[in-house]
Amino acid sequence: MSDATEPWLIVGLGNPGPDYAANRHNVGFMVADLLATRIGGKFKRAQKAQAQVVEGRMGPPGPGSRRVVLVKPMSYMNLSGGPVTALRDFYKVPTDHVVAVHDELDVDYGMLRLKLGGGDNGHNGLKSMTKAMGPDYHRVRFGIGRPPGRMQVADFVLKDFSSTERKELAFLVDRSADAVECLLAEGLERAQSAYNS
């Protein structure tokens, strides 16, 4: 269990702008937006990095609450590491208090996996973050599954969720936000046993 005074950096990975807003690759932004609503904050431009941030507290009032900075890098996915590292340094956040929320091809749609460290699995946002600060941060991996047929991965992740997927999307984004809150409040093992599916 972490010291409640140490802040956490919760990074929703995605691409900026309305053209990308509903893409599979932007599910990290969707979760970050929901978490911002839950803590009663609005994203605003960061002074120290190319990103939008919300500062607040997460969890029950009292000793169980955690200081958090929610982050949406505005640099495009493959350059996420620069803004995230700048904010990690500015807020003096230990790397193991950084959580990346991102889409994951190798997990079926609707499934979640939480872990600490590991490879980037070809994900450009993780690749950029790992290059900038090493691999020892938490990941909340939102399963989007593999592209159908011969569709290229890049085309698949930059397409909107299908109409069938959208029926469950709000519930799954909500569950991912719950998983982030559980990770901060109760630690990785508890969050994994509750949410890894």
Position 2 scores a pLDDT of 47
Judged against a pLDDT cut of 60, whether residue 139 lies above it is answered with yes
Position 60 scores a pLDDT of 80
Position 4 scores a pLDDT of 60
What is the distance between the alpha carbons of residues 10 and 84, in angstroms, rounded to a whole number?
10
Q: What is the mean pLDDT of the chain?
A: 95
CA angle 91–96–101, rounded 5-degree value: 85
Judged against a pLDDT cut of 80, whether residue 197 lies above it is answered with no
Q: Provide mean pLDDT across the span 54-66.
A: 87
Nearest CA-CA partner of 134 in 81, 173, 57: 81
Position 154 scores a pLDDT of 93
Q: Are strands 66-73 and 98-104 parallel, antiparallel or unpaired?
A: unpaired
Looking at 25, 97, 123, 138, which residue is catalytic? 25
pTM: 0.96
Position 3 scores a pLDDT of 57
Tell me if residue 25 is catalytic.
yes
